[in-house]
C-alpha cells in the first residue's frame, strides 16, 4: 500500500449532529499507534469559540496545533469585529489553513460544528481543505459503524435528549466494533442560549444508563 495512504489511516470516532435547538458533538478517548493503544484519555473535542466546537481525527500533534491556532484566530476575528464568527466562516477559515499547507499538510480530518443566527450546522473538513456542510457527520475509522446508527435513528427536529441518545449510541457502536475507538467519550451540547457546554461525568453516566 502507498505509504501516504498508510499514514492517513488513523483510528478515531467523532460525530456532530444538528437538533431542534442546536448541535450535539461527541468524540471517543482512544489514541492508537497501529494495533497498540497508545493512550486511553486523549482530547479530540475542543471549544474553539463560545458556540463552535472542533473535533479531530488524525495525528495528535497536528490536531492540537490546529485547535490552538483556530481558537486564537477566531478570538482575534471576534475582537476586531466585535461580533461572533459564524459557523460557515469558521469552517472557511479552517479550510483555508489546511489548503495552504499542501506541501507540508496537516494529517487530519476535522468537524466544525456550532450554532449562529442561521441555526445549527456541521461541516466536515478534509486535510486538503475541502469543506462540506451537513445535518450530521461522523469521522475516523469508527465512522462506518456510527453512520449505521445515524442513518437509522437520526430525524429532523429531535429534542436535546433524543439527539444526545443518538450521538451516544453512535459512539458506543464504534467502540464495540472498531478496535481503534473507545475508552469513553466526550459529549457537548451547543446552543445559542448557553453556548458550548461539556457534559459532566455524572451526566454522561446517566445518559448511558438510559439507552
Output the pTM of the full model.
0.89
Contacts of 82 (CB under 8 A, 6+ apart): none
Under the banding of pLDDT at 50, 70 and 90, the label for residue 46 is very high
* Other beta carbons less than 10 A from residue 198's beta carbon: 14
Least Cα distance to 110 among 22, 92, 187 occurs for 92
pLDDT at 56 over 50: yes
Q: Which three cell numbers stand for residue 160?
A: 436535546
What is the distance of C-alpha 164 from the center of its chain? Answer: 14
HSE-CB at 177 with a 13 A cutoff on CA atoms is: 16
Q: What is the pLDDT of residues 120-164, one digit of tens each?
A: 999 999 888 899 999 999 999 899 999 999 999 999 999 999 999
DSSP-assigned letter for residue 110: E
Asked about 10 being catalytic, the answer comes back as no
According to the model, what pLDDT value does residue 151 have?
Answer: 96
pLDDT of residue 103: 54
Among 12, 94, 139, 167, the one annotated catalytic: 12
- Residue 50: what pLDDT? 96
C-alpha grid cell for residue 83? 461580533
pLDDT at residue number 105: 72
Q: At how many degrees (to 10) do helices 60-81 and 87-99 cross?
A: 130
Model confidence at 102, pLDDT cuts 50, 70, 90, reads low
- 3-205 CATH, one of 3.60.20.10, 3.40.50.300, 3.90.180.10, 3.30.1490.20: 3.60.20.10
Determine the average pLDDT of the residues in 174-201: 92
Q: What pLDDT score was predicted for residue 183? A: 86
pLDDT value, residue 9 = 46
Q: What would the mean pLDDT of 185-206 be, rounded to a whole number?
A: 96
**Of 94-103, 123-132, 186-195, minimum mean pLDDT range:** 94-103
Amino acid at each position: 500500500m502507498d505509504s501516504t495512504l498508510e499514514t492517513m489511516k488513523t483510528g478515531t470516532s467523532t460525530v456532530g449532529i444538528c437538533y431542534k435547538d442546536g448541535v450535539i458533538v461527541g468524540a471517543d478517548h482512544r489514541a492508537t499507534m497501529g494495533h497498540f493503544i497508545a493512550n486511553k484519555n486523549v482530547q479530540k473535542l475542543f471549544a474553539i469559540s463560545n458556540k463552535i466546537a472542533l473535533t479531530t481525527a488524525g495525528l495528535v500533534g497536528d490536531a492540537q496545533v490546529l485547535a490552538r491556532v483556530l481558537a486564537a484566530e477566531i478570538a482575534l476575528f471576534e475582537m476586531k469585529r466585535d461580533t461572533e464568527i459564524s459557523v460557515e466562516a469558521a469552517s472557511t477559515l479552517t479550510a483555508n489553513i489546511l489548503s495552504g499547507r499542501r506541501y507540508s499538510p496537516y494529517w487530519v480530518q476535522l468537524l466544525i460544528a456550532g450554532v449562529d443566527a442561521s441555526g445549527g450546522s456541521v461541516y466536515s473538513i478534509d486535510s486538503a481543505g475541502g469543506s462540506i456542510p451537513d445535518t450530521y457527520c461522523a469521522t475516523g475509522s469508527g465512522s462506518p459503524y456510527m453512520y449505521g446508527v445515524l442513518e437509522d435513528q437520526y430525524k429532523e427536529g429531535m429534542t436535546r435528549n433524543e439527539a444526545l441518545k443518538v450521538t451516544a449510541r453512535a459512539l458506543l457502536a464504534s467502540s464495540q466494533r472498531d478496535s481503534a475507538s473507545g475508552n469513553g467519550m466526550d459529549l457537548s451540547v451547543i446552543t445559542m442560549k448557553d453556548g458550548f457546554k461539556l457534559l459532566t461525568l455524572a451526566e454522561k453516566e446517566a445518559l448511558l444508563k438510559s439507552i
